[in-house]
Chains A and B, each alone.
Chain A
Amino acid sequence: MQNASENQPVISARGVVKRYGRALALAGLDAEIGPGITGLLGSNGAGKTTFISLALGLRSRNEGELLVLGRDPATAGIEVRSRIGYSPEHHDLPAELTATDFVRHLAEMHLLPRRAAVQRANDALWLVGLGEERFRPVGNMSTGQRQRVKLAAAIAHDPELVLLDEPTDGLDPMQRTEMLALIRRIGTEFGMNIVLSSHHLEEAERICDAVVIVEGGEVVRAGTLADLRRGPEGIVVEVDERADEVASILVARGIDVTQEAGVLLLAATDDAYDAVRDAVAELEVGLRRLEPRGRTLEDVYLGVGA
C-alpha cells in the first residue's frame, strides 16, 4: 500500500460548492479529514453523499478546492480512485455472482493482477467473517452479509483511503456492533484511512478518531473526538436525594457549586472528589454519578454546552 504521509490530511476541502440546478447541495464546505478513522456525520440530505461523490471525482464541483490523497479528483480522477476503496449505501449487488467472484472482480477492476485478486478476495472475505460463505451467491445473502461483502470489496485491493457510506444500514444491534468493530480493526490494524459516512452519532462516537459534522452543505463542527467532547472544566455530581444539602456542604468547603436540573456542577479543585465523597458519606445518600464534565457527540451535534 502506498501510504499517505503521516499526519497529512487525506481529504482537504476549501470552499467547496456544489449545485444541482438551483438547489445548493454543498455551500462552501471546508474540511480537513484524516488520517485515521473519521466520521462524516449529518442528517439525511446534509450533503454527505454529494461530498463523497466529489471526493471520488464522479461529480464536478462548482467552486472551491478539493484534494484527495494530495490530488484533485476532478483532474486526476482515475489515479485518485485507484487508491480508494468505496462501499456504497445501497445493498443491490449482482445477485447471481458469488461473493468471491464479486470481490475478485472489483479487486481486478482496481488494478490487482488476476492471481493476486483471487487471493486478496479470499483473504478479505475471511477477514470480514465470510470465509465459509464466500462461494454463496450474493443474492442469497442477508443484508448483514451483503454489508460485509461490500466492505470486503472496498478493502481487497488494499486502498489508502476507504469511503464507507452508511455501512451499518439495515443491520441489527449485534451486527452493527460487529461491523463497527471490524471497521475499527481495519482502520487501526491495517493502517487504512477510513471515512465513515453515517447519520448515527453513536457509531462515530464508538470507533472514530475524528468527526466532521455537515448540515445544510456546510461543516458545522469538526475535530478530533476528544477535542469535541471536551466540555467546560469541572465535575458532575448526581445524588439520589438531598442534593441541596450536599451542595451546601461542598460550598462550606469552599467549592463553587451550581445546580442544573438536580445535577451538581462543581468547579474542579484538588480536593473536590474528596469533598464529594465526604459529603455523601456524611449525609448517607447514594451517589449516582461522579465524573469530569464533558459532552456527548449528540450534545456537540445539537450545540449543547458549546
Chain B
Amino acid sequence: MSTGQDARLYDLGYRSYDGPRERPARAIPALAEFTARRVLGLGRGGRHKVLPAVTLVIAYLPALFSVAYAVFARNILPGDLVSYGDYMFFIGSALALFAALVAPEALCPDRRTGLLGLYLAGPLDRTRYLVAKGAGVLGAMLLITLGPLLFMLLAFVLAGLGPSVSATPKLLLRIFAVGLVTALLYASLSLAVSSFTSRRAVAAVGVVLVLFVPALVVRPAIESAGAPNALDLFSSPFVVANLAYRIFGETQENHQPVTHLSTGLVVAGVAAAIALGALVCWLRYRRLEAFR
C-alpha cells in the first residue's frame, strides 16, 4: 500500500509533448505498414478479411498439396514435384484476384474519405505518399509471390527432396527475384489503374481489363493481321509468368506465345510495364485535387 510519500499522479491528461520526434522520412514506412495491414484486412472487420484470405488460400493451397504429396507419397522423383516456374503460372489467378480486388484498397478509399488530404497536410508529399502506398501493396503482394515458393523450398529441403546445399542459395536468389518482379508488376499495374478512380469496384474492373484484354486483342492481331510477335509483351500476366520460367531455368511446356521471344525482350517488356504503371500513377497524383 502506498505510504503517501510514494504516491504519484500518473493520469495527467492532455499536456504539451516534449518527447522525441521521428525524422520526416519515418512517415513512409509507417504509412506502408498501415497500408499493408489495411490491404490484408488486419485489424479490420471480418468482411474486409474475406478477399485477402481467399487469395492467400488460392496462392498457398497448391503449395500445401504439393508438400503433402511430397512428404506422404512413396517413390517420389524430382520430376513428380511441381516446379517453381509452374507454381508461379498456377497462382496467376490468385495474383490477378489480388491485384483487382484487394490492392485497390490502398489508394481508392483515401480519396473517397478525404484521408489523402490529411496525409498531404502532414509531413508527406505526393511522391512520398505514393512510395509508401506502393511499398505497402508490394509487401502484401510478396506474401503471395514469395511466401508459397519459400514454403515449398523449406518443406522440400526438410523432406530431403530439395536442392543440394550448394544449389540452395542460387535457388533462393531466383525465388526472391521472381517473387519481387512478379509482385512489382502486379502492384504497379493495380496502383496505376486505382489512381484513376476512388471506387474499388471500378478499379477492379479496370485491373481485369488491363491484365487480360491486351492478351485477347494482341494474339488475333499477330495471327491474322501479321502484327509483330513483340506485341505479345502487352500480355503482362503471361510475360511475367514466362520470365519466371526463364529465371528458374525451366522450360515452359504450356506453349504460351511469349516463349518464342528473346529473354532480353521479355525482361525489357516486364521492366517497361512496371515503369509505365508507376509513371502513370505518379503523373495522375501529381495533379490530383487532394484538398477539399
Contact = CB atoms under 8 A, between A and B. Distances in A.
B74 interface: no
A93 B114 contact: yes
Interface stretch (B23-31, B153-161, B208-216, B228-236): B23-31
A94 B109 contact: yes
Given A59-B291, A123-B14, A190-B16, A112 B21 contact: yes
Contacts of B121: 56, 58, 81, 84, 86, 88
B129 to A, nearest CB: 10
Given A92-B113, A93-B114, A1 B18 contact: yes
Task: Indicate the member of B13, B17, B124 with the most A CB atoms within 10 Å.
Answer: B17
30 contacts: A1-B18, A58-B117, A78-B124, A78-B125, A79-B24, A81-B122, A81-B123, A86-B118, A88-B292, A93-B115, A94-B109, A101-B43, A105-B34, A106-B118, A109-B122, A110-B27, A111-B21, A111-B23, A111-B26, A113-B20, A113-B21, A113-B22, A116-B20, A120-B17, A123-B13, A123-B14, A157-B17, A158-B16, A158-B17, A190-B14
Interface string A156-199: 01100000000000000000000000000000001100000000
B44 interface: yes
Interface in A245-300: none
B170 interface: no
Interface string B47-72: 01000000000000000000000000
A126 interface: yes
A110 B19 CA distance: 13
A58 B19 CA distance: 28
Contacts of B290: 58
A120 to B, nearest CB: 6
A202 interface: no
Contacts of B16: 1, 158, 190-191
B226 interface: no
Contacts of A155: 14
B284 interface: no
Contacts of A90: 114, 292
A1 B18 CA distance: 6
Interface string B176-220: 000000000000000000000000000000000000000000000
Interface string B119-157: 111111100000000000000000000000000000000
B48 A111 contact: no
Contacts of A92: 112-114
Contact of B31 (A79, A109, A157): A109
A89 B14 CA distance: 24
Interface of B: 13-24, 26-27, 30-31, 34, 43-45, 48, 109, 112-115, 117-125, 290-292
Contacts of B31: 109
Contacts of A106: 118, 122
A234 interface: no
A58 B14 contact: no
Given A112-B21, A127-B14, A93 B113 contact: yes
Q: Interface residue tally of chain A, by bracket?
A: 35 or more
Nearest to A186: B14
B10 to A, nearest CB: 11
Contacts of A112: 17, 19, 21-22
Contacts of B118: 86, 88, 106, 153
Nearest to A86: B121
Contacts of A105: 34
Given A88-B118, A127-B13, A157-B17, 10 more contacts: A88-B114, A88-B292, A92-B112, A93-B113, A94-B113, A112-B17, A113-B20, A123-B14, A126-B13, A191-B16
Contact of B27 (A59, A93, A94, A111): A111
Nearest to A122: B14
A108 B124 CA distance: 12
A158 B120 CA distance: 18
A112 B26 CA distance: 10
B17 A53 contact: no
Contacts of A81: 121-123
Nearest 3 pairs of A and B residues by beta carbon = A158-B17, A127-B14, A82-B123
Interface in A111-135: 111-114, 116, 120, 123-124, 126-127
Contact of B45 (A1, A56, A96, A110): A96
A15 interface: no
Contacts of A124: 14
Given A105-B34, A116-B17, A123-B13, A78 B120 contact: no
A94 B284 CA distance: 23
B130 to A, nearest CB: 15
A92 B114 CA distance: 6
Contacts of B26: 111
Nearest to A112: B21
Nearest to B47: A96
A77 interface: yes
